[in-house]
Amino acid sequence: MLVCEPVDIAALVSSMAKDWEKQVSASGITIRSQVRSAIIEGEEAYLRRLLRNLIDNAVRYARSQVEITVDTEGRYARICVEDDGPGG
C-alpha cells in the first residue's frame, strides 16, 4: 500500500548526490547538484529508488559529469538528471 507523506525532495537529492559523488570520485566522474527547496507528497522509499535508478543510469553513460537539479514551478517540483554521455 502506497503511503504518501511530505518529502523534502531537495534534501533527498542533495544527500543522494553526495553519496554518489563518493562512490564515483575515483572514476573521474563529477556529480553536481543544484537544488531549490521543495516539499512534495510521495513515498520516500519509492522516490529514493527512482532517483537511484536515474543517477545510476546517468553515471553509467557519463563521460565526465552528471548534473542533478531540483527546481520548482508553482506547486510542482521538477527533477532533472543529465549526463554528458553519448545519448544526449
* 19 occurs within a structural domain: yes
Q: φ, ψ for residue 50 (rounded to 5)? A: -60, -50
* 69 occurs within a structural domain: yes
Give the SS3 label for residue 54. Answer: helix
* 88 occurs within a structural domain: no
Angle between helix 44-61 and helix 9-24 axes, rounded to 10 deg? 40
Residue 12 has pLDDT above 90, yes or no: yes
Domains identified in the chain, total number = 1
Domain that holds residue 32: 5-83
pLDDT at 3 (0 to 100): 86
Question: What's the predicted TM-score (pTM) here?
Answer: 0.88
pLDDT at 1 (0 to 100): 80
